[in-house]
Structure 1
């Protein structure tokens, strides 16, 4: 018994060979293009793996003392009404 997928492909190939309408062929090419584009996009996204660098960024961040100092300076610079 033959694989049903192969059977279906053969049937489609024969149908396409007998096709004469340019509009129908253009529609099939559009379907093909969409399918190929989806695969290309999915592959391209796999190349960009995001590195988890939270610990590095956290180490470069402000200390609690520096944060308090900056907050105090900011509050002092606010235009308080006297």
Structure 2
């Protein structure tokens, strides 16, 4: 005895093969898209946890004197109207 699900699938496949209407095929594709998006399993967010490396980044940052020099140079480079 054959599985009734397999028999139904074969019948649907045959029906889809014989379809000529683009709207019907588009509707089936949309149904497939909705179904597959529901079935997707979300990945655990713990794998994407960002480590707290503030101290490391802060140590690599620009020293106060250098930042001050750059700020003054930037301000002086602006096109001020006289």
Q: TM-score per shorter chain, which class?
A: 0.5 to 0.7
| Aligned 1:62-73 pairs, distance under 5 A | none
CA distance in 1, matches of 2:7, 2:13: 10
Is 1:48 matched with 2:65?
no
CA distance in 2, matches of 1:19, 1:2: 26
CA distance in 2, matches of 1:20, 1:2: 29
Q: Which runs of 5+ in 1 are unaligned?
A: 50-82
Structure 1 runs (4+) greater than 6 angstroms displaced: none
- What is the CA deviation profile of residues 22-60 of structure 1, one whole-angstrom value per residue up to 9, with x for unaligned ones? 0000000000000011112xx11x5236xxxxxxxxxxx
Report the counterpart of residue 31 of structure 1 in structure 2. Answer: 31
Structure holding more helix per residue: 1
**TM-score of the aligned structures, taking structure 1 as reference length:** 0.52
* Count of equivalent residues: 46
Q: Which runs of 5+ in 2 are unaligned?
A: 47-82
Other structure's SS at 2:19 match: coil
How large is the RMSD of aligned CA atoms in angstroms? 1.3
